[in-house]
Amino acid sequence: MNEQEQTRIERLIKRSIPPVGEQSGAELQRDLWPAMLKRLDGDAHPAAMPWFDWALLAAVAAWLAFFPGAIPVLFYHL
């Protein structure tokens, strides 16, 4: 691509897509701190573990309690 073609494409882009600075929405219209606090709060209190994870954990614990010989097998597969 030569310099002339490059300039032509550049001009076409500039005429097709205006800069955001000239449009509405270019500046922040509201304070985002309340939304940020909500996000931080969600981060501090992660979602509870789903019930099926607890059920799976209980099943594995019961299995290991009744069949202690399975412990090395479990470690092998982890």
Partner 1 sequence: MLVLEQPSLGAPREVLRQFCHGDLGAFEALFRQHQGSVYGWIVRIVRDPAAAEDLTIETFWRIHRAHARFDPERSFEAWARRIATNAALDHLRTARHDTELPDDLASPPAPDHDISDDLRRKTARAFQRLPPKLRVAATLALIEEQPYREIAEALGISIGAVKLRVFRALRLLRKELKRQGIES
Q: Where do contacts with partner 1 occur on this chain (CB under 8 A)?
A: 1, 5-6, 8-10, 12-33, 35-36, 39-40, 43
Decide whether 25 or 46 has the Cβ nearer to partner 1.
25
Minimum CB separation of residue 9 from partner 1 in Å reads 5
Which residues in 15-49 are b (16+ Cβ under 10 Å) and which e?
A: eeeeeeeeeeeeeeeeeeeeeeeeeeeeeeeeeee
Minimum CB separation of residue 48 from partner 1 in Å reads 21
